[in-house]
Amino acid sequence: MALFDVIKYNGEPDVLAWKYPSEELGTWSQLIVNESQEAVLVKGGQVYDVFGPGRHTLSTANIPLLRHVVNLPFGGRSPFTAEVWYINKVYKLDIPWGTPTPIQLQDPKYAVFVPVRSNGTFGIRVNDAKKFLVKLVSTLPSFDQDTLSRYFRGLYVSQIKDAISTYLMEKRISVLEINSYLNELSESLHQSIAPGMLLYGVELVSCFVNDISVPEEDEAVQQLKAALAKRAEMNVVGYSYQQERTFDVLDSAAKNEGSGSASFMGAGMGLGMGLGAAGTFGAVFGDLAKGLNTSGQASSPGNCPNCGSAIAPSAKFCPQCGQALDARCPKCGAALTGAPKFCPECGEKL
C-alpha cells in the first residue's frame, strides 16, 4: 500500500470542492492547505477534521479519531484509508444567472399579463466547508461554480419571480418601467436568496439584476407599447382620448355634405355631453359652428355671406358677386357698426 508524504490541492480555480485522487494515506503525511482553502478529512462518510491554511501532519496526536482506525505500525508509519477534500473558499463574484423561461406576471399599472425575462450575476463564498461538503458535494468527484449555479437555479428562479412581482405591486410601477429600479430590486433579491444558500454553507456575497426584459414579439407587449406611445403623443399635443374621439366625430360630420348645421350641432353637443366633456366640446364646437352656414357650405371670417368667396377684411364689396359688405371684424368676421375700437363678438382690438 502506497503511503503519500505530501498532499496538495491541484484543482482548477473555478472548482469549489476537489477530492484528492487517492484514499491511501499514512500517518506523518504532510497536508498542505493554501490561503483561501480548507481541507476536510473524511472516512466512512464521517468528517474527522477540518484543516485551515498551512502545513499539517496527519497523526493520531493531531487527529484523535484516527486512534480508533490506525493500529498497525509500518516502520513508524501507519496506513489508513480516508478521503481528503479541498474546499475553495475564494470569492466568486461573476457567476451568471438567468430565467430559463419567461415568467408570466400581471402588470399592476395596466392590468395586462406579460412574459418577463431576467438575468444578472451573483457572488458567493463557501463559509462552512463541512456543511457545504456534506449537504451539497456528497459523493461527487468535484464541484465547480457551474454545478453550484444548477443546484441553486430552482431557488433563485422562484425567489426572482416573487421578488419582481412583489416589488411591482408595492411600488405600483409597470414592467416596462422596472429597469429604473434595478438597484433596489437587486438588494431585495439578495435578502430573499441569501438565507436559503446559508443552509448549505454558501454565503451570498452579492446579487445583481442586470436586466429585466419582455419579448418584443409578444402580442400583449406590442399592444401595451402602442397604447403608451399613443398616450405620449396625446400628452405632447395636449388633449385626451375622449377629446380625440370627439374631434374624429366632428371631422366626419363636417365632411358629410348631407348634414345641416342644426343637426350637426345637436349631434355634436349630445356626444360632448355623453363623454363628460361638455365644457371642452362647447368651446371647440363654438369655433367650428361659426364657420358653418345653413346651406352646409363652410365659411370663415372674411368670406362673402352671399356666395362664400374669400374677401379681404377691409373690402366693402364682394369681388365675385358684388354683394355690398358691412365692416367686419378681421378675426371673427362679425358685422361692425359705427367705429368701435373692439369687436363686440370676440373683443379683438380694431
What pLDDT shows up at residue 39?
Answer: 93
What pLDDT shows up at residue 88?
Answer: 93
β-strands 6-7, 30-33: how paired?
Answer: parallel
Least confident of 17-21, 104-108, 286-290, 320-324: 286-290
β-bridge mates for residue 328, sequence order: 335
Share of the chain above pLDDT 90, in %: 16
Could you tell me which residue, 167 or 40, shows the higher pLDDT?
40
Domain at 92-219: CATH code:
3.30.479.30
Band (pLDDT 50/70/90 cuts) for residue 295 is very low
pTM of the model: 0.58
Model confidence pLDDT, tens digit, residues 125-179: 999 999 999 988 877 888 888 888 888 888 888 888 888 888 888 888 888 788 8
Count of alpha carbons within 13 Å of 228, Cβ hemisphere only?
12
320 Rama class: left (phi>0) / alpha (psi -120 to 50) / beta: alpha
Domain spans, the chain: 6-88, 92-219, 239-298, 303-350
198: exposed, middle or buried (C-beta count within 10 Å: 0-12, 13-18, 19+)? middle
**Residue range 180-186: mean pLDDT, rounded:** 89
What pLDDT shows up at residue 27?
Answer: 75
Count of alpha carbons within 13 Å of 176, Cβ hemisphere only?
18
- Chain CA centroid to CA 193, Å: 19
